[in-house]
Amino acid sequence: MKAAFLEELGSLTVRQVPDPQIGPYEALCELLYGATCSGTDLHLIEGRVRWAIDCAPTIIGHESVGRVVAVGPKVRNFKVGDLVSRVGAPPAADGSYHSTWGGFASMGVAKDHWVMAEDGLPREQWDMNRVNQVIPPDFDPRACAMLTTWRETLSCITRMGVSPGSRVLILGSGGVGLAFSAHAANLGAAEIVMTGNPARAQLALRAGAAAHLDYKAPDHADRLAHAAGNGFHYVIDAVGSQASINLALAAVAVGGSLAVYGIGEFGKTTVDPSLARGEFTKCDGGYDEAETHDRVVTLMRAGKLDATIWLDLENPFQLDEINAAFDAVRRRDCVKALVKLSGHA
């Protein structure tokens, strides 16, 4: 199989390695499509978080879709031909390389975590694989590369409590910011305001925002304060810089809720309550992809999540072009780049 390895900072190296072998609870999958993540992936590639490069070489990528081609003898919940979410290549059996989710590869492994739990295997052996969920067979696997982003953000925003009639502010117009906007709209928010790159204004409106504020404008803070009025019930910082966190604090209503989701300045930021208008709730509930899989599938089938806001479905990059895909993301030519992972996709 082919796989994209992080071997040194700045770029990925695509090379061939043996196909993975499966165990009794595992399904072998041909990986079809994956999407880039401008947060985690670029942080790994550019060394803003060190743990991946410290175990290099490692296969990165965590937004992939696979099709089952073989199953182990104890697998009951996957069958040959099934589409499965967030499948990745495992580390090498001989220890010659690692896997940081392993999504940018042409083959991968899913685990039947349901059976593993029923059989009493330790939770640490299968818990992370609850992201491996069956996708309806009629779904477009290209669009399903969005499942990771959509499931994570829907879990986060529903745990916050966003509900009909609420006012929502989203700082950041990247992939997760746009996802939060779409979810807030689907949850019935009365008003959604987004701040971000002016080039993303039309996409923000397509994703449900009522207004998009240019974060580069000299009077951005004043415009945001005017839009906030008495404050937003829910504020989601999808950037994660100190500057964006401070703006979020100033915009949350008394008694409102704030979530810092972005990792732009990972490990270097603080939340100073003295910058807020009064008491507020800082949401640290995280997210759980598995808990929202069925809801996201329902929204996709109803046409309430449109992958074309994020991805160019007709012009995917090839796996060999993975560095060009990330260059396009860096230039902001696209929100997320779609990558075709195998020849049969």
- R_g of the chain computed on alpha carbons: 20
Given a contact cutoff of 8 angstroms between Cβ atoms, the answer to whether 151 and 121 are in contact is no
Domain that holds residue 80: 2-142+311-340
Residue 288 lies in a domain: no
The per-residue pLDDT for range 86-135, each reduced to its tens digit, is 999 999 999 999 999 999 999 999 999 999 999 999 999 999 999 999 99
Which residues are registered as beta bridge partners of 98? Answer: 58
Residue 345 lies in a domain: no
Other Cβ atoms less than 10 A from the Cβ of 304: the count is 14
The per-residue pLDDT for range 295-338, each reduced to its tens digit, is 999 999 999 999 999 999 999 999 999 999 999 999 999 999 99
| pLDDT score at 51 | 82
| pLDDT score at 344 | 73
Task: Identify the CATH number of the domain in which residue 15 sits.
Answer: 3.90.180.10
Residue 127 lies in a domain: yes
Here the tokens at position 28 are: 């072998």
Of the candidates 244, 263, 282, which is a domain's last residue?
A: 282
Residue 293 lies in a domain: no
Co-location of 266 and 186 in the same domain: yes
Residue 195 lies in a domain: yes
Other Cβ atoms less than 10 A from the Cβ of 338: the count is 24
Co-location of 185 and 257 in the same domain: yes
Q: Which of 339, 320, 316 is closest to 3 using CA atoms?
A: 320
80: Cβ contacts below 8 Å, ≥ 6 apart: 68, 69, 70, 71
Residue 296 lies in a domain: no
Co-location of 160 and 132 in the same domain: no
What's the structural domain count of the chain?
Answer: 2
Co-location of 231 and 273 in the same domain: yes
| pLDDT score at 230 | 97
Other Cβ atoms less than 10 A from the Cβ of 64: the count is 30
pLDDT under 70: residue ranges of the chain: 345
Co-location of 18 and 92 in the same domain: yes
Task: Identify the CATH number of the domain in which residue 165 sits.
Answer: 3.40.50.720
Q: What distance in Å separates the CA atoms of residue 195 and residue 340, rounded to the nearest whole number?
A: 31
Q: What distance in Å separates the CA atoms of residue 14 and residue 12, rounded to the nearest whole number?
A: 7
| pLDDT score at 345 | 64
Co-location of 7 and 137 in the same domain: yes
| pLDDT score at 343 | 83
Q: What distance in Å separates the CA atoms of residue 310 and residue 35, rounded to the nearest whole number?
A: 10
Co-location of 47 and 124 in the same domain: yes
